[in-house]
Structure 1
Amino acid sequence: MATPDFIRDLRTSIGTQLLWLPGVTAVVFDEDGRVLLGKRADTGHWTVIGGIPEPGEQPAETAVREVYEETAVRVVPERVVLVESGPPVQYPNGDVCQFMDVTLRCRAIGGEAKVNDDESLEVGWFAVDALPALEDYALIRIKRAMESAPTWFQGMGEELPVPDRPQEA
């Protein structure tokens, strides 16, 4: 994920101190029930699409923008899947961030999946029973997006189980 200019500007004042940031994840399905994934340029791992909202941008707007910027796919957000904060993360340059993630289920409405920026090495559609190797973060979000369950909120008593790993494609 490329660092937005407004965060670079903040870092000139606060250095590497903990920065609390919103994040938005989009779990995108097509008409065949396949999920859209991107292979990140920074880690080489497949994952769901996501990013940081621009100042004043709503989570649904962020999902639409990020999916298009990274994959050239047009989407419509359908519902909030989960809201969760993760632990602080320290990056190799020393920056420390903690993210509050809002995950949205989205429906593809157009475009052709392709690498559309420098954040991804590959993008593609995958059947949910033939996913590539994914970290728990992505697996949990895909599983929850497939369910008709209400939005999951961290800290409300229910644990968020990691789903069984599908066979690798």
Structure 2
Amino acid sequence: MPISAYIRSLRERIGQDLLLLPAVSAVIVDDDGRILLARSHGDDQWALIGGGIEPGEEPSASIAREVREELGVEATVGQIVGVYGGDAMFITYANGDRCAYVTTAYACRLAPGPLVLEESELRDVGWFEPSEISKLDTQPYVERILVDAGVPI
């Protein structure tokens, strides 16, 4: 998904300087206990579905929107797993923009139906057994959030 109008307006004023941004992440588990992870374009690491919270948007509505936009299906948003920040949530994008995210992770379930990836953002998704996740190249925050969600990694 292209940069939001809000972030674009901030970048016009501050350039590539560090932005502290609120975000949301989805811990999506299927009926067999598998975890859904995704890879974005330009990034080989697996990550949770998620994204930025828009001004005025409730975080739980934000994660439902992100799932719908990125996967093309509705999600049932459950309880908060935790709130995460720190070094694992710093990112420098390919264009040089720097962000530090504080993400609220939610337990989510997907409605039945095929996944339709937002091709401009995601290049791949996969369902993984919990035992497989530690063998994957994941974003630094993924295992911490999954452990907090009760996933036996």
Please tell me the TM-score bracket, short chain as reference. 0.7 to 0.9
Structure 2: which 5+ residue stretches go unaligned? none
What pairs up with 1:132-151 in 2 under 5 angstroms? 133=136, 134-146=138-150
- After TM superposition, the runs of 4+ consecutive aligned structure 1 residues lying more than 4 A away are none
Alignment of 1:115-130 (within 5 A): 115-130=117-132
Q: Return the TM-score normalized by structure 2.
A: 0.84
Supply the distance in 1 between the matched residues of 2:73 and 2:150 (Cα, whole angstroms). Answer: 19
Q: CA RMSD in A?
A: 2.2
Superposed displacement of residue 2, structure 1: 4.1
| CA distance in structure 1 between the partners assigned to 2:74 and 2:92 by the alignment | 32
1:90 corresponds to which letter in structure 2? Answer: T
Give distance in 2, aligned partners of 1:96 and 1:136. 16
CA shift for structure 1 position 68: 1.7
Q: Return the alpha-carbon distance in structure 2 between the equivalents of residues 110 and 52 of structure 1.
A: 25
Q: With the length of structure 1 as denominator, give the TM-score of the two structures.
A: 0.77
Counterpart of 1:85? Answer: 85
Cα shift at 1:27: 0.7
Q: Which residue of 1 aligns with 2:44?
A: 44
- State the distance in 2 between where 1:33 and 1:97 align: 32
Q: 1:46 to 1:2 in 2, by over 3 A?
A: farther
Residues 1:3 and 2:7 aligned together = no
Q: How many correspondences in the alignment?
A: 149
Alpha-carbon separation, structure 1, partners of 2:68 and 2:140: 24
**Larger Cα-atom Rg:** 1
Which sections of structure 1, spanning at least 5 residues, go unmatched? 148-162
2: CA distance, partners of 1:39 / 1:93: 18
Displacement of 1:85: 1.8
Deviations 1:52-80 (A, max 9, x none): 01111111111111112112232111111
The answer as to whether partners of 1:41 and 1:119 remain within 8 angstroms in 2 is yes
1:54/1:115 CA distance change after superposition, 3 Å: same
Q: Which has the higher contact order (CA 8 A, sep 6+)?
A: 2
Deviation at 1:109, TM superposition (A): 2.4
Which amino acid counterpart does residue 141 of structure 1 have in structure 2? I
How far is 1:83 from its partner? 0.9
**2:106 aligned to 101, 104, 107, which one?**
104
